[in-house]
Chains A and B, each alone.
Chain A
């Protein structure tokens, strides 16, 4: 039950976030807004990581550093485009398209990690593509 509550909390948090982005970017450039937002978010998460996982951070495995740096390039790129999408297309149109990230992670996992294409996965991909077509067609 706690897991479901926390998952709903995550969905609500990420559902609220683009509204703040839309309001903030009425007066700020996308690059500035993205940088400030990421600094605020990373400060909070970094503080909690130090508080809860100090021992892990003290003995940080070196092998993971290149992956962290790679994520450090890909994540801000995603965030920058995310903010620009909300600014240009609006919350209601941009968010469902942004929600298709699992489609791309599944595709990458099939291509790079050797995962298999199952029937639910194929149906899910079709539904996502149909959904995007409807949203884009709405304009």
Chain B
């Protein structure tokens, strides 16, 4: 928890490096969540497992950060809340589409397609976030290697 706190608040590490460390930490947490999810879907449908896991997570976050949540109320413009709510809804749509896809097609087909989402992000950030995002050829090549690697991992586990 101290490490997570350092990533969120630590000032001695450059922001970009903290961003990379947070990304690796998130990938490890999501990787762990996938393994737990495989256990959950043995007993309940994926949508039910996802719904209750997400709800438990949301409740935990609200309980952990309740004071900060109350203190900051009204500090941001309404459009910031709109974007964040949209992020949650779009992410939930992704989860529902994934579970539905897995019921219609095998994992070896679904996983590599879903794994291309970083490329979608890069394309969209190049189109819509030009003022804050710089997309270099190294980032694009790196993302292609990651997506290809993830596809190979999905095929290797099938």
| Residues of A in contact with B (beta carbons under 8 Å apart) | 2-4, 6-42, 44-46, 48-50, 52-53, 56-57, 60-61, 63-64, 67-82, 84-109, 112-113, 115, 118-139
Contact = CB atoms under 8 A, between A and B. Distances in A.
Residue from B16, B22, B59, B85 having most chain A Cβ neighbours under 10 A: B22
A49 to B, nearest CB: 4
A127 B68 contact: no
Contacts of A56: 44-45, 48
B84 A37 contact: yes
Given A7-B110, A23-B83, A49-B48, 8 more contacts: A4-B101, A24-B84, A88-B16, A92-B134, A95-B121, A129-B149, A131-B145, A135-B146
Interface string B115-128: 11111111111101
**Size bin of chain B's contact surface:** 35 or more
Interface of B: 4, 7-8, 15-16, 18-20, 22-40, 43-45, 47-62, 65, 68-69, 72, 75-77, 79-98, 100-105, 109-111, 113-126, 128-129, 132-136, 138-139, 141-157
B62 to A, nearest CB: 6
B31 A28 contact: no
A92 B122 CA distance: 5
Contact of A124 (B27, B54, B114, B149): B149
A3 to B, nearest CB: 2
